[in-house]
Amino acid sequence: MNEQTAFVTHGQNGQDAQSQPIIRVENLSYAYPVEDSDQPKQALSDVNLTVARGEFVGIIGHNGSGKSTLSKILNGILSPDSGDAWIEGMNTKDPEKIWQIRKTAGMVFQNPDNQLVSSVVETDVAFGMENLGVPSEQIKEKVTEVLDIVGMSDYRKARPHQLSGGQKQRIAIAGILAMQPDCIIFDEPTAMLDPNGRAEVMKTITNLNREHGMTVLHITHYMTELVGADRIVVMDGGRVVATGTPREIFSQVAMLREIGLDVPQMTELAYLLNQDGYDIPKDVLEIPEMVEALCHLK
């Protein structure tokens, strides 16, 4: 197992850049001030989390569970009340490091239309690099490379407003990739897309993680998008209430229901059949597994 070998080099002192987690969150708390009230609204309470290099971690939780507040702290948009968040060892509270942090942990948001700035795809992708004063030859090469990674090479000269939602999101991802981040935080990137767009974006994210070793933190309401994740973190009421592999998490159907979340349809079906005494593994995630499990019954 690759994962095993990756962990062998883990040092406890955090000196070795290759071994320390890319994202490290310790005892993080944050409350939003409420107008006309002394009682602030607690959004995060004592959150702890690490994301290792190359990992694909999903975060789920209902609206208001603290997911987006966490992502805003990771990106230095909000500063925590207590506790710390580190990106590659840089504390997100440190104003000196803010640009380096945002370059290291790129973010992709929900609405594709709010993220594209230029009228031509290639200049949009180049936008970040141009701001950094990267020489134009290098920019051209990089644009070619990142458009290829997201499967949008044919659209280099296209106009962003003529693209579908899924294509726009892939352009937004390309723009982030051009900045050569070490990890990408996706904050509900598929929420506004049609089924095809959702599939395109998920294929791109999975490919980035598996083929290019990109560390991914993926916040979503679509549970099926996390079936292939390494780990899932469940948030409720500003706290991390569970963390585990997709099988460990999704098989806890009752717990997820209680905090207002879904499970993938296959897991829900396995749960219901189990309740009726069928001998089906409770952690079924995908269709072929369900077919296999049912065939064993006959």
Partner 1 sequence: MSLKIEHLDHVYAQNSPFEFKALDDVNVELENGHFIALIGHTGSGKSTLIQHLNGLIEPTSGTVYLNGVDIFNQSKEDLVKTRFSVGLVFQYPEHQLFEETVAKDVAFGPKNLKLSEEEIQERVKWAIEMVGLDYEKMKDVSPFELSGGQMRRVAIAGVLAMKPEVLILDEPTAGLDPHGRDTILGQIEKLHKATGNTVILVSHSMEDVGRYADRILVMYKGKAVYYDTPTVVFRHVDELEKMGLAVPEVKYLMRALKKRYPEIDDDIFTVEAAKAEIERVFGGERDV
Beta strands in the chain (DSSP E): 23-32, 41-51, 56-60, 82-87, 90-91, 105-108, 183-187, 215-219, 231-236, 239-244
Q: Of these, 24, 142, 198, 218, which contacts partner 1 (CB under 8 A)?
A: 198
Nearer to partner 1, 105 or 223 (CB): 223
Find the helix or strand (DSSP H, E) in which 26 lies: strand 23-32
* 50, 21 contact by CB (below 8 A): yes
226 CB neighbour count, 10 Å cutoff: 23
Binding residue count for partner 1, defined by CB under 8 A: 45
Nearer to partner 1, 203 or 221 (CB): 221
Rounded least distance, CB 13 to partner 1, Å: 40
Rounded least distance, CB 62 to partner 1, Å: 4
* 150, 174 contact by CB (below 8 A): yes
* 103, 185 contact by CB (below 8 A): no
Nearer to partner 1, 7 or 278 (CB): 278
DSSP label at residue 44: E
Stretch that binds partner 1, among 117-125, 148-156, 160-168, 243-251 (CB under 8 A): 160-168
Q: Of these, 130, 148, 194, 248, which contacts partner 1 (CB under 8 A)?
A: 194
Tell me if 283 contacts partner 1 by CB under 8 A. no
Rounded least distance, CB 282 to partner 1, Å: 14
Q: Which residue has the tokens 């991390």?
A: 240
Which bin fits 276, alpha (ψ -120 to 50), beta or left (φ > 0)?
alpha
Tell me if 110 contacts partner 1 by CB under 8 A. yes
Stretch that binds partner 1, among 42-50, 170-178, 237-245, 259-267 (CB under 8 A): 259-267
Q: Which of 290, 100, 129, 104 is nearest to 214 (CA)?
A: 104
Q: Of these, 14, 117, 196, 210, which contacts partner 1 (CB under 8 A)?
A: 196
Q: Which amino acid, 87?
A: I
Rounded least distance, CB 111 to partner 1, Å: 9
Three-class HEC string of 219-268:
ECCCHHHHCCCCEEEEEECCEEEEEECHHHHHCCHHHHHHCCCCCCHHHH
Tell me if 122 contacts partner 1 by CB under 8 A. no
Q: Which residues pair with 108 in a beta bridge?
A: 186
Q: Of these, 118, 164, 206, 245, which contacts partner 1 (CB under 8 A)?
A: 164
Tell me if 69 contacts partner 1 by CB under 8 A. no
Chain residues binding partner 1 by CB under 8 A are 35, 61-65, 110, 164-166, 188, 191-199, 221, 224, 260-262, 264-266, 268-269, 272-273, 275-279, 287-288, 290-291, 294-295, 297-298
